[in-house]
Amino acid sequence: MHASTMPLYASAALVAGVVFFARGFRTMRTRRLIANTPTARIRSMAMGLVEIRGTVQPRSHVTAPFSGHDCAYWQVDISSRSRRGWTVIHRNQSGQPFFVQDDTGVAMVYPHDAACTIAFGVEEQYEGLALPACYADYMNAHASALGQLARVGMLRFRERVLEGGETVFVLGTATPRAQERVIGDGDLMLATGTDGAVVSQRQTLDQETVAVVRRGENESTFIISQESQKSLMMDLGFQSFFQLLCGPALTLFGLAWWLTAWSSGRMPWSR
């Protein structure tokens, strides 16, 4: 490292160390929350913080924007490449609720603001000025001015989807379902033949819903994951260990440099 850049690196290490340390405690708390919350059967789950596992069933007609696949939920991000790696310039997700069903009942999940651990279904890289139509049309409709400027370089497109029939783990806040039936955007209310049967099934699931799971007002932890509880806890354990180890190390590095510079009279502004 060049001597003139050391104040910048030391300051960045101080800030990053504090952020890593705080995130480590938050990750550790989330892991402990998962461990201490028993998996409930949907039919008998209590209101409040709840942990359920079941099969995804779409409630609305949802189409993933990049692949065009029908799904229950999608999540996309667009990144631009620089010398330091990839930087996310755009994120988006579908907002329509979907059902999670086990052998005892049905819950409705509102995925807004959830921390999702879902495998990538699509990941492609293209020059921004030579994008396929699906990516170019999406960016024209959704990307910010910064995203449009990023089209002069290399872009990475990633899409995650939850399809009907997949098993998910959900940790969130259960609330009583509303008495009235709320129709989400994209619901298929007028259909015949096979589509009519699909609509009928979704209406039945809607009527059988015993509770709604979402991000709570008092407890913000909200996770939707394709991983098992055991795998998720293992991943969170590694994350918290890394964050709690690196946080103090970075802080000590930055603090030591500034203390050394101050004691030796080599402060940047004194030159």
- Are the beta carbons of 253 and 12 closer than 8 angstroms? no
What number of other Cβ atoms are within 10 A of residue 58's Cβ?
A: 24
- Are the beta carbons of 104 and 44 closer than 8 angstroms? yes
Q: What is the pLDDT of residue 96?
A: 92
- Biggest alpha carbon–alpha carbon distance for the chain: 82
Q: What is d(CA 228, CA 169) in angstroms, rounded to the nearest whole number? A: 7
Q: Are residues 95 and 213 in the same domain?
A: yes
Q: Are residues 250 and 173 in the same domain?
A: no
Q: What is d(CA 135, CA 158) in angstroms, rounded to the nearest whole number? A: 11
- Are the beta carbons of 31 and 83 closer than 8 angstroms? no
Q: Are residues 150 and 255 in the same domain?
A: no
Give the residue numbers spanning the domain of 262: 1-36+229-271
For the chain, percent helix, then strand, then coil, each to nearest 5? 40, 30, 30
- Are the beta carbons of 20 and 250 closer than 8 angstroms? yes
Q: Are residues 174 and 234 in the same domain?
A: no
Total domains in the fold of the chain: 2
Q: What is d(CA 80, CA 91) in angstroms, rounded to the nearest whole number? A: 12
The ranges of the chain with pLDDT < 70 are: 1-4, 145-148, 179-199, 265-271
Q: What is the pLDDT of residue 192?
A: 45
Q: Are residues 216 and 237 in the same domain?
A: no
Q: Are residues 209 and 260 in the same domain?
A: no
Q: Are residues 215 and 264 in the same domain?
A: no
Give the angle subtended at the CA of 91 by the CAs of 90 and 94, to the nearest 5°.
140
Which residue from 75, 72, 64 is spatially nearest to 108, judged by alpha carbons? 72
- Are the beta carbons of 183 and 144 closer than 8 angstroms? no
Q: Are residues 142 and 20 in the same domain?
A: no
Q: Are residues 76 and 178 in the same domain?
A: yes
Q: Are residues 28 and 101 in the same domain?
A: no
Q: What is the pLDDT of residue 180?
A: 47
The angle, 0 to 180 degrees and rounded to 10, between the axes of the packed helices 6-36 and 229-263 is: 150
